[in-house]
Structure 1
Amino acid sequence: MPCVLRQDTLIYADGTLGARYRTSKNNGATSPPNGFQGQGSCPQIYQPNEELIHANIRKEVRIPIMNLPNATKVNSYECELEIETQTVRIPATVDESNSNITCSQYTYDYTAKEKQEVNAYIKVFWNDNEIDNAYQVTLYKCSVQRPDCSRCYSMNTTRSGLDCVWCTGDQCSYSLFCLSIVNECPSPVIIQTLPISVATVTTEPEPDFTEVIELFGTDFGQMMSDIDNIMIDNKKCVIVADGFNIALQSVKCKAPVFDSVSQRDVIITVQGKTSAPVVILYQNPLISELSPRFGIQAGGTTLRLSGSNLNTGNDVMVSIDGSECYVTSINENQMICTTSNYTTSGAEVAVTVTFGNAVRDGLTFNYTTNPTVTDFQPNKGIQAGGQNIRVTGTNFQYVQKATML
């Protein structure tokens, strides 16, 4: 008995096409003519589960299909594979129950080097007829973005069903490709710390820590609880809540306070295995000069702070009596910031620079009364511009830049 394949096409159970019929304006099909079944009775692919195939695996794919045409009326079946932008057709067979199509063996692979997974699609053809829906296959590569044992085995970076294992030779591979599986991950390795330096603390009372630092490396574990501790010399670097990133293999911790300049060793211990040390520098940033010492109350004054080791750490802030001076550039010997609005004028107030939780102060700044404009001449001019205008008023001496709008 025939059935409806598409909105306006009839297909018989023996695989031949019938006449077309009219569709309605709302894109829904009109009722099938007498003797024809609805679209639900047409051949269609049924996919109960995800099909996972590792790249470069040669295998058959078995596709469940409902309502296949009578096998005696079909000359041959084919599977058309669409992987990335490429398509290829391969022979296929039907089983005795006439409910499963098996695509012949094919080596499934993809070219994208940085993609862990790529979706591929398989369509089924018979007698040059096509089943409307496609069978989806997920192709994947264990080695992509899993450069260490922790990321190879972690459920956060390697989902269930992929069958990825860590192999001798330091590579995450598909289990069938691996000659010797390593079940226990090696010792952690710290590649770098950011920042590479933090400030010594010279004030009382001492803060709980000087600055949050981040360690990057390999085999820090599959979850934060795998990390036993992080030490800087003989003091613990307390791990920040939610500071572990399995994908990056990084962890954040609060660098402990030291009051003397020195290179200090950072080590991490993961499930009883300890890394080799890397060095972090505790240094003493000093502010020796501030210029200019005066600026208008409205803010916008560019200040230049001079000194040494000013690029210590990542968390540098300048405050003028609690009002932020926004840092725009910084190097070892100079820092530039822009003042913000201040509530009063005429007062000499303290300038404080913080490097994380380490405080440096001792300099002062004076907020002056905002300038006022009383007159400007001439008050008319040509559109082309180029005219000199004389502006009169008060308190112009501390204005660094003026603009006429």
Structure 2
Amino acid sequence: MPDDRCPQFEIPEPLLIPVGIKTPIQFQGKNLDKYLGSTFQIGTELMKQVGEVTVVADESKYRFEGYKFEYDKEPEVNVTFYIEDKSMDRKIDSTLRVVLYNCSVRREDCSLCKNADQKYNCVWCGTTKSCIHRDLCTQEEGQCPPPTITDVVPQEGPIKGQISGTTKGSNSGIKRGIIKRITAGEVPCSHSPKRYSFSRYCMRF
């Protein structure tokens, strides 16, 4: 833990940063008397080059104009920024940690996209047919397309039925109660709500 008497940067805002959008970040600095008049740079492993830091007010509040991040390995990842004195190439203690997130990762269909926490501002975009941040979309879809079944497991069974099966597909809803009726051919099946997951549900033939 940094010494409270040491120069350091802290309290970044906002804490959520979407990929693909250059989002300004403001933060605070303290115990920086020895760095008065210095020029600072900011960086992280996910940035290809460092960025410039500007002073917002009385040498205690600072601003970074942002960086258009790219990241698609996980839906979100913690990113810690470092700050360095440009003239001395010396890093200063920093607790500037934010969460970088990508709406597209693991949200391959509209139902999964609409199930994302509202704080991420993810929307199903009609122009790209994908889940992206609202500010990147020019035509947001209000309703999802009809459900599509892509696979049924198992694909073979006894003529009299009475076996459990699972359907896989897309846009099958984001709540268990949305499934009202399931049939195989014209034969009604019983739905197992407890085994429902997004874009997948279990039934008994």
TM-score (norm 2): 0.86
CA distance in 1, matches of 2:82, 2:125: 36
Contact 2:111-2:174 within 8 A present in 1 as well: yes
Relative to structure 1, the CA distance from residue 195 to residue 65 in structure 2 (aligned partners, 3 Å threshold; closer, same or farther) is same
Aligned to 1:115: 74
How does 1:19-34 map onto structure 2 within 5 Å? none
Pair 1:106 & 2:67 matched = yes
Q: Which has the higher strand share?
A: 1
Aligned to 1:46: 10
Relative to structure 1, the CA distance from residue 160 to residue 66 in structure 2 (aligned partners, 3 Å threshold; closer, same or farther) is farther
Q: Which has the higher helix share?
A: 2
Contact 1:200-1:210 within 8 A present in 2 as well: no
How does 1:5-404 map onto structure 2 within 5 Å? 39-47=3-11, 51-69=15-33, 73-83=36-46, 88-110=49-71, 113-126=72-85, 128=88, 129-154=90-115, 158-169=116-127, 170-201=129-160, 210-246=162-198, 249-255=199-205
Relative to structure 1, the CA distance from residue 87 to residue 137 in structure 2 (aligned partners, 3 Å threshold; closer, same or farther) is farther
Relative to structure 1, the CA distance from residue 160 to residue 43 in structure 2 (aligned partners, 3 Å threshold; closer, same or farther) is farther
Contact 2:176-2:193 within 8 A present in 1 as well: no
Alpha-carbon displacement from aligned partner over 1:123-173 (angstroms, at most 9, x marks no partner) = 12235343223312322222222121100011xxx2331111011142111
Kindly provide the amino acid, as one letter, of the partner of residue 44 in structure 1.
Q
Q: What fraction of aligned residue pairs are identical, expressed as a percent? A: 23
Kindly provide the amino acid, as one letter, of the partner of residue 218 in structure 1.
S
Deviation at 1:217, TM superposition (A): 0.4
Contact 1:114-1:145 within 8 A present in 2 as well: no
Deviation at 1:191, TM superposition (A): 0.7
Q: Secondary structure at the match of 1:198?
A: coil
CA distance in 2, matches of 1:140, 1:61: 15
Where does structure 1 differ by over 6 angstroms across 4 or more consecutive aligned residues? none
CA distance in 2, matches of 1:57, 1:75: 28
5+ long unaligned stretches in structure 1: 7-38, 202-208, 256-405
Deviation at 1:52, TM superposition (A): 1.7
Alpha-carbon displacement from aligned partner over 1:231-278 (angstroms, at most 9, x marks no partner) = 1234331122421122xx1100111xxxxxxxxxxxxxxxxxxxxxxx
Deviation at 1:63, TM superposition (A): 1.7
Count of residue pairs brought into register by the alignment = 202
**Root mean square deviation of aligned Cα:** 2.4
Alpha-carbon displacement from aligned partner over 1:63-103 (angstroms, at most 9, x marks no partner) = 223333266x33211112221xx663221112223222212
Deviation at 1:48, TM superposition (A): 6.9
CA distance in 1, matches of 2:43, 2:13: 20
CA distance in 1, matches of 2:58, 2:51: 21
Structure of larger gyration radius: 1
Range 138-147 or range 43-52, more displaced: 43-52
